Amino acid sequence: MGPVARGGRSLDRRKRTTGEMKTIFIVELIVKTMHFLQDAALLCQDGLASVNSSVAQIHQSWKEKCEEEGEKAQEKLHFNLERRNWTLERECDEEGITVKYARDPETNTYFLLTEVPLDLELEWVAQDMRYHTLAATAEWNSDSMEFTILERMTHMCWVAYQATPPKLGGIIASRDMVIYIITRFVNGSYFVSTSSTEWPGMEPREDRVRADMQKGGGFSLSPDPAGNGTRLRWVSTLDFNIPLISRIVPMAILRRIYVEGSRNYIAEMKKYLMARRGGRGGRD
């Protein structure tokens, strides 16, 4: 019986040793797996942090560019609004709209100044323009088939994309542009400057001609000196980039076409704002 007992105890010890080794192996495997998953998670976090950091840097760079370019555009807008060489081209008594033009020596192009009084409160118009009307341009303007806010860098600095439909049965192709929209409040008046820029993923397309909006364009909203409403002034600095037609058609005729387009734009904006105020109005 003695030898059998000793053999049995040896067998039990071997079983325990084998079981302990399996347990140690499993524990080590679990620990190594946990370390691997932890390292992988840290790598993912580092990768995501790197991506997020890059995106943040790009966003900050565009924000700084928007502010820098916006200041220049605002300065030129104020200059254009105050320039003395505007010439009256058209006066629409029924609508209260006047359109003037001036040749800009810096860009060698014609700028247009369109003005209209609005029987609407200044603060309401400014808020509605910022939070609704501009973003809804394609809804009310017959010469815009697309208008999209690409990025709101700040509540005062946006980037937008706009496209116009083809004209004359496609003889004049669709135009598009990427625009900085900068808002400032100065001495009781609102100034919204607009000028061309670039944006990732919004490069020129083959089916559309990239138009150019020179610095110095945009809107001003100020108290109407002749009443209790708002005086809306719009400086258009848009170059549709049609050199062939410009060589064939006299500038005086082209200017009248631009003038009619500007009058129509402001007339449609006025109608839309009046309808908004007559309806629910306010901020959406």
pLDDT value at residue 127:
94
- Mean pLDDT across the chain: 81
> For 56-82, how does the pLDDT look when each residue is reduced to its tens digit (9 = 90+)?
555 667 677 777 777 889 999 999 999
Of 257, 213, 205, 255, nearest to 235 (Cα)?
213
In the predicted model, is pLDDT for residue 16 greater than 60?
no
Q: What is the CATH number of the domain that holds 97?
A: 3.30.530.20
pLDDT value at residue 108:
82
Of 251 and 153, the structure prediction assigns the larger pLDDT to 153
pLDDT value at residue 94:
85
* 53 — pLDDT class (breaks 50, 70, 90): low
pLDDT value at residue 75:
93
> For 222-232, how does the pLDDT look when each residue is reduced to its tens digit (9 = 90+)?
999 887 899 99
Strands 212-213 and 189-196: unpaired
Of 99 and 38, the structure prediction assigns the larger pLDDT to 99
Q: Is the dihedral of CA 84, 85, 86, 88 positive or negative?
A: positive
> For 132-176, how does the pLDDT look when each residue is reduced to its tens digit (9 = 90+)?
999 999 999 999 999 999 998 888 889 999 999 987 666 677 899
> For 181-221, how does the pLDDT look when each residue is reduced to its tens digit (9 = 90+)?
999 999 999 999 999 998 999 999 988 999 899 999 999 99
Decide if 40 is inside a domain. Answer: no
* 48 — pLDDT class (breaks 50, 70, 90): very low
Decide if 63 is inside a domain. Answer: no
Task: Give dist(CA 122, CA 224) in Å, integer.
Answer: 9
> Token pair of 255, please?
């200017």
Decide if 64 is inside a domain. Answer: no
Tally of domains in the chain = 1
State the SS3 of 190-211.
EEEEEEECCCCCCCCCCCEEEC
Decide if 185 is inside a domain. Answer: yes
> For 94-109, how does the pLDDT look when each residue is reduced to its tens digit (9 = 90+)?
889 999 999 888 888 8
Decide if 9 is inside a domain. Answer: no
Of 116, 111, 81, nearest to 97 (Cα)?
116
Torsion-angle region of residue 20: left (phi > 0), alpha (psi -120 to 50) or beta?
A: alpha
Segment among 29-33, 79-83, 85-89 with least mean pLDDT: 29-33
Express as a percent the part of the chain with pLDDT over 70: 71
Decide if 13 is inside a domain. Answer: no
Decide if 67 is inside a domain. Answer: no
Q: Spell out where the chain has E strands.
A: 87-92, 97-104, 109-118, 146-154, 157-163, 174-186, 189-196, 208-210, 212-213, 217-223, 230-236, 238-239
Decide if 127 is inside a domain. Answer: yes
* 42 — pLDDT class (breaks 50, 70, 90): low
* 116 — pLDDT class (breaks 50, 70, 90): very high
Domain of residue 107 covers: 73-279
pLDDT value at residue 93:
85
Place of tokens 């105050």: 82
Of 205, 280, 253, 237, nearest to 72 (Cα)?
237
Radius of gyration of the chain (CA): 33
Query: What are the angstrom distances between the C-alpha of 160 and each of 27, 65, 141, 173, 198?
Result: 58, 15, 16, 20, 10
How many CB atoms are closer than 10 A to CB 116? 21
Of 95, 115, 123, 120, nearest to 276 (Cα)?
120
pLDDT value at residue 161:
96
pLDDT value at residue 74:
92
Of 222 and 43, the structure prediction assigns the larger pLDDT to 222
